[in-house]
Structure 1
Amino acid sequence: MNFDKITKNLEKLGYKVSVFESKEKAVEYLNIYIHDVSVGFGGSMSVKEMGLYESLREHNETYWHWLLDKNLSVDETRKKALTTDVYISSVNGISEDGEIINIDGTGNRIAAICYGHKKVYFIVGKNKIAPDFDSAMSRARNIAAVKNTNRFKSKTPCVANGDKCYDCKSKERMCRGFSIFYYPPYGCEYEVILINENLGF
């Protein structure tokens, strides 16, 4: 995939952008630049598929509520991740113009990417990229959110039908909050890691 357009647009908006042909090369890079700091992770199938947490925890203080290894509860781990030096998140959709969309059920990932860290990394597999804002939002709602909700076998219309978001009123609804970055927020360095592989939802 050619990342020239999205790279140019993201850099214009103020993001640092790094491009890799494989998840292994991306992990190698991140291990060099994330060293001896505290690192929080959002829920992310991309991170899981990369083995990134396991790699970074060898030489950093890491917090991920998907893998509890510090005698902390899920909620305690989420709160610790909010105050780390570095935070790592994937995205649910990103337009070639640079708008970044995330959907959250608990809100910890949305909170963390917006404020409180020295640096935030967005992990982006090529499957997350859409031509424009509307298609990026559609991807986030109708592909990423549906697959993520299905992972929990929730009793929602999207799981029952397996096709799209129904904007339901279910108590088990996972897509409870959205974040849209038109520009990177003030006060933090943001880097987008573009990877020429399909990763996550």
Structure 2
Amino acid sequence: MNYDVLKKNFEKHGFHTAYFETGEEAASYIKEMVKGKAVALGGSVTLQEIKLNEVLDGECALTWHWLEPGAETLKKAKQAEVYICSANGVSETGEIVNIDGTGNRVSMTIYGPQKVYYLVGRNKISPDMHSALMRAKNVAAPKNALRLNRKTPCAANGGDRCYDCNSPERICRATVIQDRPCNGVEAEVVFINEDLGY
């Protein structure tokens, strides 16, 4: 991971950035940043792996639909001051790619909260936007479909790649390429020098 290049290109695009060697250090940083705030977490294996919900327990008003599934939790998350998620692909040139099935995660990153944090492991980084998009489609999405036991060609084949299917259980329903933070939302990309999530 070349953090100097990432910092330069993301900050040129209006994102704030931070860098940590470990997920544990990144989680501690986030805890200090969000104390006392209303915080929602997006669906994320990265956040799960660094146990962010445990780190934040008691430090903020936390909403996470992975802990309390259902429509009411997703509605509550819309009221959060801070939204935290990861990314399916990130380019060295300064773009973030996310693919979503329900739309809650991608919508929260572009409109609503005062601040969005993206926690990104080094394995999510690609040289340019096209390769970040291909990574999101052919690495992250199939692995998530497999994890969710979806009846899709990618899951049936071990999460090997995207088949651009029309399965009713398809999880790739909205793809957002974020070039800049949207107006009214402050966004920070927290880079972590570990392989995390898909």
> TM-score scaled to structure 1, two decimals?
0.95
**8 Å CA contact 1:95, 1:136 repeated in 2:** yes
Selected match of 1:161 from 135, 157, 162? 157
- Measure how far apart 1:2 and its partner are: 2.4
User: Equivalents in 1 of 2:98, 2:123: separation in Å?
Assistant: 14
User: Equivalents in 2 of 1:149, 1:76: separation in Å?
Assistant: 23
Selected match of 1:123 from 119, 122, 128? 119
User: Equivalents in 2 of 1:129, 1:54: separation in Å?
Assistant: 26
- What residue number does 2:44 align with? 44
- Measure how far apart 1:32 and its partner are: 1.0
Amino acid at match of 1:66: W
Q: Secondary structure at the match of 1:6?
A: helix
- What residue number does 1:170 align with? 167
User: Equivalents in 1 of 2:98, 2:165: separation in Å?
Assistant: 18
Gaps of 5+ in 1: none
- What residue number does 2:196 align with? 199
Q: Per-residue displacement from partner, 1:59-92 (whole Å, max 9, x unpaired)?
A: 1101000012xxxx52111111111010001000
- Measure how far apart 1:6 and its partner are: 1.2
Q: Per-residue displacement from partner, 1:28-81 (whole Å, max 9, x unpaired)?
A: 11111110010011100000001111111211101000012xxxx521111111
User: Equivalents in 2 of 1:142, 1:117: separation in Å?
Assistant: 29
Q: How many aligned residue pairs are there?
A: 197
Q: Does residue 65 of structure 2 align to residue 65 of structure 1?
A: yes
Show the 5 A alignment for 1:82-97: 82-97=78-93
**8 Å CA contact 2:117, 2:188 repeated in 1:** yes
Identical columns (%): 50
Q: Does residue 52 of structure 2 align to residue 56 of structure 1?
A: no
- What residue number does 1:134 align with? 130
- Measure how far apart 1:188 and its partner are: 1.2
- What residue number does 2:34 align with? 34
- Measure how far apart 1:9 and its partner are: 0.2
- Measure how far apart 1:159 and its partner are: 1.2
> TM-score scaled to structure 2, two decimals?
0.97
User: Equivalents in 1 of 2:125, 2:79: separation in Å?
Assistant: 29
**8 Å CA contact 2:28, 2:55 repeated in 1:** no
Task: Give the root-mean-square deviation of aligned CA atoms.
Answer: 0.9
Amino acid at match of 1:173: R
Q: Which moved more, 1:9-18 or 1:51-60?
A: 51-60
Selected match of 1:102 from 57, 74, 98? 98
Amino acid at match of 1:40: A
User: Equivalents in 2 of 1:27, 1:99: separation in Å?
Assistant: 23
Q: Does residue 183 of structure 2 align to residue 186 of structure 1?
A: yes
User: Equivalents in 2 of 1:170, 1:3: separation in Å?
Assistant: 39
